[in-house]
Amino acid sequence: MLETIDLTKIYGDGTKALDNLNFKSNVKVLSVLGRNGAGKTTLVRILSTQLLPTSGTARINGLDIVKEAKKVRKLISSIPQEARPVGMSSPYEHLLMYLTARGMSISEAREISRKTLKDIGLWEVRDKPTDELSGGMKRKIFVAMAIASNAELIFLDEPTVGLDPYSRTEVWSILKEADSKLVLTTHYMEEAEELSDEIVLIHKGKLISKGTVEDLLSKFKDKVRVEGTGEIKVGKMKISYVDRKEAETYIGKYIVKPITLEDLFIIYAGEGLED
Ligand SMILES: Nc1ncnc2c1ncn2[C@@H]1O[C@H](COP(=O)(O)OP(=O)(O)OP(=O)(O)O)[C@@H](O)[C@H]1O
């Protein structure tokens, strides 16, 4: 169970990255979505005890992430967005080091490392220095480390950035099979749709919406997206969200599409529909 209580973060320069965030979640995969700068990484860093909040707190399985940070760290594993592997060490060595450092026996760590490297598609390069691997392969090492940890809750900040579609599917598959609960941030909406049991949408550090993909979209079930005309300007593109009936008059003249998760970003950027 994850719960944030009036969680607020104001950085030293005055930027309010999280603004009284309150939500509870107890699902297998929770995705945190929001535009660049919405506060997702700040939230994940605070929840994974790498950064202190300015005020408020959060609880993971009832444990306070500030007052009981040491206990929380035993429950979680986290891959920061900026994680970089050690160039001379191989993927296999990364996993072994990480798992044994977490207290796993060497024999168990060997077995789990091998299985995870196979599952995630890194088996053939398991003994290569990571310096000699591609950016996507390096990213996969961290996903493998987190999943192999079998932690109760795993934080994955944009786990599939830079991965080709095949590798992304490999990662999705391993994430779906994991026994751990996951908190994920992503800018890939199909990834959020594929994996999430619940989504929290944040904007300028505030909670905008929470629910399943269906819940979030159901608020706009009678609307469609019209491209080429409308009040909302995204760069040079004009977009409007109109009732289905009204959209009939646009068919043939403009591009008319169903609303997807991507549209929530445009809608909630403050320029679209009122909630
Ligand atoms: N160390 C810092 N000092 C000052 N401001 C910061 C710092 N880190 C982040 N911010 C600011 O806090 C806000 C939230 O940033 P954060 O990285 O949490 O957003 P995000 O939703 O993860 O963005 P992205 O999708 O681009 O990764 C932004 O305005 C950002 O500029």
What pLDDT is stored for residue 275 in this prediction?
A: 45
How far, in Å, is the centroid of ligand 1 from the Cα of 18?
A: 10
Choices 3.30.70.270, 3.40.50.300, 3.30.360.10, 3.40.1380.10: CATH for 1-210: 3.40.50.300
Burial class (CB in 10 A: 0-12, 13-18, 19+), 214: exposed
C-beta separation of 8 from 53 below 8 A: yes
Q: What interhelical angle do 91-101 and 106-120 show, nearest 10?
A: 140
| Best residue for ligand 1 mutational test, from 7, 8, 32, 40 (most atoms within 8 Å of Cβ) | 40
Q: Which of 262, 239, 137, 257 is nearest to 187 (CA)?
A: 262
Ligand 1 atom closest to 41 (CA): 22
CA distance 123 to 51: 34
176 lines ligand 1 (CB under 6 A): no
pLDDT in tens, the chain (275 residues): 999 999 999 999 999 999 999 999 999 999 999 999 999 999 999 999 999 999 999 999 999 999 999 999 999 999 887 888 998 999 999 999 999 999 999 999 999 999 999 999 999 999 999 999 998 899 999 999 999 999 999 999 999 988 899 989 989 999 999 999 999 999 999 999 999 999 999 999 999 999 999 999 998 888 999 999 888 888 888 898 999 888 888 888 899 999 998 888 888 775 545 44
CA distance 101 to 109: 10
Domain ranges of the chain: 1-210, 218-268
C-alpha atoms less than 13 angstroms from C-alpha of 109 in its C-beta half-sphere: 17
What is the CB neighbour count within 10 angstroms for residue 131? 11
What pLDDT is stored for residue 271 in this prediction?
A: 53
| Best residue for ligand 1 mutational test, from 31, 42, 79 (most atoms within 8 Å of Cβ) | 42
56 lines ligand 1 (CB under 6 A): no
Ligand 1 atom closest to 15 (CA): 5
135 lines ligand 1 (CB under 6 A): no
What is the CB neighbour count within 10 angstroms for residue 138? 18
C-alpha atoms less than 13 angstroms from C-alpha of 122 in its C-beta half-sphere: 35
What pLDDT is stored for residue 270 in this prediction?
A: 56
54 lines ligand 1 (CB under 6 A): no
46 lines ligand 1 (CB under 6 A): no
Look-up of token digits 């990213």: 139
Residue nearest to atom 29 of ligand 1 (CA): 37
Ligand 1 atom closest to 205 (CA): 14
Alpha helices in the chain (DSSP H): 40-47, 69-75, 91-101, 106-120, 135-149, 165-177, 189-195, 213-218, 244-247, 261-266
179 lines ligand 1 (CB under 6 A): no
- Strand, coil or helix: what is 33? strand
CA distance 223 to 86: 50
The single-letter code of the amino acid at 65 is I
Phi, psi of 223 (to 5 degrees): -105, 155
Q: Is the ipTM of this complex over 0.95?
A: yes
First-to-final CA distance of the chain: 27
How far, in Å, is the centroid of ligand 1 from the Cα of 39?
A: 6
User: What global pTM score does this model have?
Assistant: 0.91
200 lines ligand 1 (CB under 6 A): no
Structure tokens at 30: 């929770």
What pLDDT is stored for residue 116 in this prediction?
A: 96
How far, in Å, is the centroid of ligand 1 from the Cα of 17?
A: 6
